[in-house]
Amino acid sequence: MRYFSLVGALILGTLMATSDAAAQVPAEAGKAATLAKAAQKQLGELSKLLNLTDAQKALLSPFLQEEADKVKALKGDDTLSKEDKLTKLKGIKGET
């Protein structure tokens, strides 16, 4: 359980840190590329921290990409307040 809390905190921190950079890129293609890079960076950090094998990285990568896609969709939802977005972001992080 402690392992998942550590991984969840690391994922949340990394995505929150990179989310500001993604918001500053004006083009949608740039945003998608930034989120993809963030997912890859996150995979690299987790890989170093947990000494993941290539097989483990391959298993983890789709989850991180899915999370990045959900965060991108959440950022683009103008109907939600900042508080609602933060609550949903925490929910997304809790799923992964």
Q: Where are the alpha helices (DSSP H) in the chain?
A: 2-24, 28-50, 54-76, 82-95
Average pLDDT, the chain: 77
The residue-averaged pLDDT of 48-61 equals 92
Domain that holds residue 89: 2-95
Backbone φ and ψ of 77, nearest 5°? -85, 100
Burial class (CB in 10 A: 0-12, 13-18, 19+), 87: exposed
**Which of 42 and 1 is assigned the larger pLDDT?**
42
**Is the pLDDT score of 86 beyond 80?**
yes
Residue 39 CA, distance from chain mean position: 6
pLDDT reported for residue 29: 61
Give the predicted TM-score (pTM) of the model. Answer: 0.58
The confidence band for 32, taking pLDDT boundaries of 50, 70 and 90, is low
Indicate the number of domains in the chain: 1
Which pLDDT tens digit goes with each residue over 55-84? 999 999 999 989 888 988 998 899 999 999
